Amino acid sequence: MAFITDHILSWVAFAPALGAVLVLLAGRSPGAARRLALGAALADFVLSLHLLRHFAVGNGADQFVEHAPWLAGGKIAYSLGLDGVSLWLVLLTTFLGPLVILSTWRAITERVREAMAFLLLLQTAMIGTFLARDMLLFYVFWEAMLIPMYFLIGIWGGERRVYAAVKFFLFTMVGSVFMLVAILWCYQQAGSMALADFLQLELSRGQQSWLFLAFALAFAIKVPLFPFHTWLPDAHVEAPTAGSVILAGILLKMGTYGLLRFAIPLFPLAALSLGPWLAWLAVIGVVYGALVAMVQQDVKKLVAYSSVSHLGFVVLGLFSLTVTGAAGGVVQMLAHGLSTGALFLLVGMVYERRHTRLISEFGGLAHAMPRYAAVFLFVTLASIGLPGLCGFTGEFLILFGTFGSRLLPHARLLTALAATGVVLGAIYMLWMYQRVFLGKLGERNRDLPDLSPREWAVLLPILIMIVVLGVHPAPLLERLEPSLERILAPVAAVRPTESTYGLAVREPADQTAAAIAALKGDR
C-alpha cells in the first residue's frame, strides 16, 4: 500500500484518468462503460478518504507533498500539495464524481463511452487544479479542464449546445491567456515556477496591480463575477445534467479558489487596493443574479442565475480579507456545490420525465411526485440558507466576517446589500417552488413516476452531507482555518494607512506579527 500512500495525491488526481483509459479500451457496451466509470469514480472517492483520515488537523501548511522536477532543470516542477482549502474542494470533487456518473444512467444514451471518458478526464483536471503548487502545472490543469467540458456541452448538450460550448471555451480562454503572460512575467522575476517562490516576490504596488488584474480576470470569468457571467446561463442551460452539476458544483469554484490561492496572497497590496472593487462587483452580482433569477421561465436557468448570486457571496467573503470571511467563502463553495449540484440533478430528473423545464408547464407536482417534492423542498431550503442546513453556515460566516472587516472599506454597507440577496434568494426559490409543486396538478403531469431507487442513491448522499455541513461544520472549519491564516498572512502583513479603493498609499508593515494579531482580533 505504501506504493499508493506515498504518492496519494497523484493517485487521487490520476485515478479518474486511468479510469478514462480503461473505459475507452474496454467500455464496448454502454453498460460496461458506465459501470467502469462508476467504479473508477468510487475508487477515487475511497482514495480521497485516505486524505481526510490522515490530514493533520491544526497544520495549515501543505501536506502529502509531492515534488519532482519537470522542466527547465527543476525550475518548473510537478509539485502537488494539499492544505485545508484544497482538502475540502478535492473531497467535494471526488464526492460528486460518482454521483454525477450515476445520474447519467438514463440521461446519456448516445456515445456513452466517450461521455464517461470525458467526465473522468475532467475530474482529473479539476483535482489537479486544486492540488498543483507549481504555476505552470496549475495552468496546464486549468486549461486542460476546458477540453472535456467543451465536449460535454458541445456533444451531449441541448439545442444551442455548439454556441454555448464555444462561448464557454473562448470566454474562459480570454481570461487565462492574460494570466499566462502574468505567470511568465513572475517566472522571469522569481526564477522558478514554484508557488512558494512566487510568494517570495517583492513587487511594487504598480506591478502588483497589473498582475492582480491579469489573474483576477481569469478567475472572475470562471466564478463568474458580474459582468463576466454571460457565458454561464448559456453553458448551464445547454449542458447535459451531468455537465451542469460539475459546472456548478466544482468548475465555478476554480475561480474563487484561484482568487483565494493565487490572486490575494501573491499580490496583497493589489488585493487591498483593488479588492474592494471586486467586492462591489460581487455584491452587484449577488443582487443582480437574484433579481434575474426571479424572472426566469426555465427552472434550470433560474438555478444558473442563482449560482451567480451565490458565488457573489463567496467572492465577497474572500475579499473581506478576514479568516472568518474567507472560511465562510470556502464553506459556501462547498455548500453551493452540494445544494446547487442537487438542484441541477433534480431538475434533470424531471426533465428526463417531461422533456421540459418551463415553470409554466408544471404546478401541483407535489401531488404526483410527493417524495421528489419533499427532496426538492429540502434542497431549496438548504440553498436559501435555512439554519441547520449547509447554506446557512457559509452565508453566516461570510456576512459576519465581512461586517467586521477592517480591510474592506464600506464593509457594513456591502454586508447589508449582500444580506438583501439572502432575502431575494428566499423569494425566488420559494416562489419557483410554489409554482412548480403546489397548486393544481396539470393533466400531463398526472402520471409522472416518483423517484426511482437509482435516483435516491444519487440524492441521498448529498442530502446527508447538506445536513452534516449545516449541523456540525466544526471538523471542516478546524481543518480550514490554519490554512486560511497562512494564505492571508501576506495580506495581514500589510498595514493599511488609508482605505479608499487604492487611492491611498499602503506601506508594507515592519511588524508582521502585530498585524496578524490585529487581524485575529478582528475575528
Binding residues (CB under 8 A) for another protein: these are 70-72, 136, 139-140, 143-144, 146-147, 150-151, 154-155, 161-162, 165-166, 169-170, 173-174, 177-178, 180-181, 184-185, 187-188
Helix (H) or strand (E) holding 286: helix 268-294
Rg value, the chain, Cα:
22
Q: How far is the CB of 72 from another protein (least distance, A)?
A: 8
Residue 85 vs 153, nearer CB to another protein:
153
* 374 Cβ contact partners less than 8 Å away, ≥ 6 residues apart: none
Q: How far is the CB of 184 from another protein (least distance, A)?
A: 5
* 372 Cβ contact partners less than 8 Å away, ≥ 6 residues apart: 346, 349, 350, 365, 450, 451
Residue 1 vs 188, nearer CB to another protein:
188
Residue 107 vs 184, nearer CB to another protein:
184
Residue 111 vs 495, nearer CB to another protein:
111
| Distance, CA of 479 to CA of 83 (rounded, Å) | 8
Residue 58 vs 73, nearer CB to another protein:
73
Residue 12 vs 17, nearer CB to another protein:
17
| Distance, CA of 2 to CA of 238 (rounded, Å) | 44
Q: How far is the CB of 111 from another protein (least distance, A)?
A: 8
Strand partners, 82: 63
Tell me the three state secondary structure of residue 280: helix
Pairing of strands 76-82, 63-71: antiparallel
In contact, 385 and 391? CB cutoff 8 Å: yes
Q: Is the dihedral angle over the CA atoms 294, 297, 303, 307 positive or is it negative?
A: negative
Q: How far is the CB of 44 from another protein (least distance, A)?
A: 19
Residue 225 DSSP symbol: P
* 7 Cβ contact partners less than 8 Å away, ≥ 6 residues apart: 66
Q: How far is the CB of 162 from another protein (least distance, A)?
A: 5
Q: How far is the CB of 70 from another protein (least distance, A)?
A: 6
Q: How far is the CB of 173 from another protein (least distance, A)?
A: 6
CA nearest neighbour of 60 among 399, 477, 469:
477
Residue 162 vs 423, nearer CB to another protein:
162
In contact, 97 and 261? CB cutoff 8 Å: no
Q: How far is the CB of 165 from another protein (least distance, A)?
A: 7
| Distance, CA of 279 to CA of 216 (rounded, Å) | 12
Q: How far is the CB of 222 from another protein (least distance, A)?
A: 16
Centroid of chain to Cα 284: 19
Render 293-333 in DSSP notation, one character per residue: HHT-SBHHHHHHHHHHHHHHHHHHHHHTTSHHHHHHHHHHH
Residue 70 vs 456, nearer CB to another protein:
70
HSE, CB side, 13 Å, CA atoms: give it for residue 25.
Answer: 6
Q: How far is the CB of 76 from another protein (least distance, A)?
A: 8
**Is there a cis peptide before residue 148, judged by omega within 30 degrees of 0?**
no
**Is there a cis peptide before residue 16, judged by omega within 30 degrees of 0?**
no
Q: How far is the CB of 136 from another protein (least distance, A)?
A: 7
State the CB neighbour count (10 A cutoff) for residue 489: 17
CA nearest neighbour of 365 among 379, 346, 381:
346
Residue 107 vs 177, nearer CB to another protein:
177
Q: How far is the CB of 20 from another protein (least distance, A)?
A: 13
State the CB neighbour count (10 A cutoff) for residue 406: 15
